[in-house]
Every structure is written in C-alpha cells, then in structure tokens.
C-alpha cells in the first residue's frame, strides 16, 4: 500500500510560519489548530526566516538574472552534446 503525502497550500504554510514566528502560541498549540506536525511547523518557520534577507536585498532581479544565465549555459551544453552525438552516430554508421 502506498501512502500519499499530505500537500499543504502556500497560504496555510505562510499562516502557520507567521504564527510560529510571532511566538504567541507554542508549536504544539499551532499544530493542534492547523493539524500539522510540530516538526513541520519548525521547518516552515526556518524556511521563512531564511528567505527574509532575500526579500529585502538591494538587487531584487539578481536571482532572476542568475537563473537566466544558468538556463542559457545549460542550453549551450545541450547543443554541444547534440552535435557530438550526431557526429558520433555518423562516424559509427561509416564504420559498419
């Protein structure tokens, strides 16, 4: 039997993480209220706190530009590999 993992909405994760950050309730109280395990609450809280510096960074498009550069680099590598595969296929056909 396969057990399906629970999937939580972004809104719920945000609400739970925000309540955990506020510190007005314990993790167990929040867990009981939302039906989420306390360990999961701690993970969402950590993710939220880790993401805050990026939210207020002076260069908001920096991450976007680095992703675009990565994608361009990967497409270039794919193109080079395709050329190599085509060349090798051509060479192997001439040998047989």
16 and 37 assigned to the same domain: yes
Type and span of the H or E element at 69: helix 62-95
> Same structural domain for residues 48 and 1?
yes
pLDDT of the residue at 59: 66
pLDDT for res 21: 94
Structural domain boundaries, residue 78: 59-96
With beta carbons less than 8 A apart as the criterion, state whether 36 and 8 touch: yes
pLDDT of 41 higher than 70: yes
**Higher per-residue pLDDT: 1 or 52:** 52
Over range 7-27, report the average pLDDT. Answer: 93
Looking at the fold, whether 12 and 33 belong to one and the same domain comes out as yes
Residues 8, 52, single domain; the answer is yes
Tens of pLDDT, residue by residue over 43-91, are 999 999 988 887 777 665 666 778 888 999 999 999 999 999 999 999 8
pLDDT of 11 > 80? The answer is yes
Please indicate, yes or no, whether residues 49 and 63 belong to a single structural domain of this protein.
no
User: From CA 96, how far away is CA 12, in angstroms rounded?
Assistant: 62
For residues 52 and 68, membership in a common domain is answered with: no
Give the number of domains in the chain.
2
- For the chain, what's the residue count? 96
């Amino acid at each position: 039997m396969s057990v399906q993992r629970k999937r939580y909405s972004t809104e719920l994760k945000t609400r739970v993480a925000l309540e955990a950050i506020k510190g007005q309730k314990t993790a167990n109280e929040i867990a009981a209220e939302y039906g989420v395990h306390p360990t999961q609450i701690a993970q969402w809280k950590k993710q939220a706190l880790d993401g805050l510096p990026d939210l207020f960074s002076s260069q908001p498009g920096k991450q976007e530009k680095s992703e675009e550069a990565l994608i361009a680099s990967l497409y270039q590598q794919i193109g080079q590999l395709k050329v190599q595969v085509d060349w090798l296929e051509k060479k192997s056909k001439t040998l047989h």
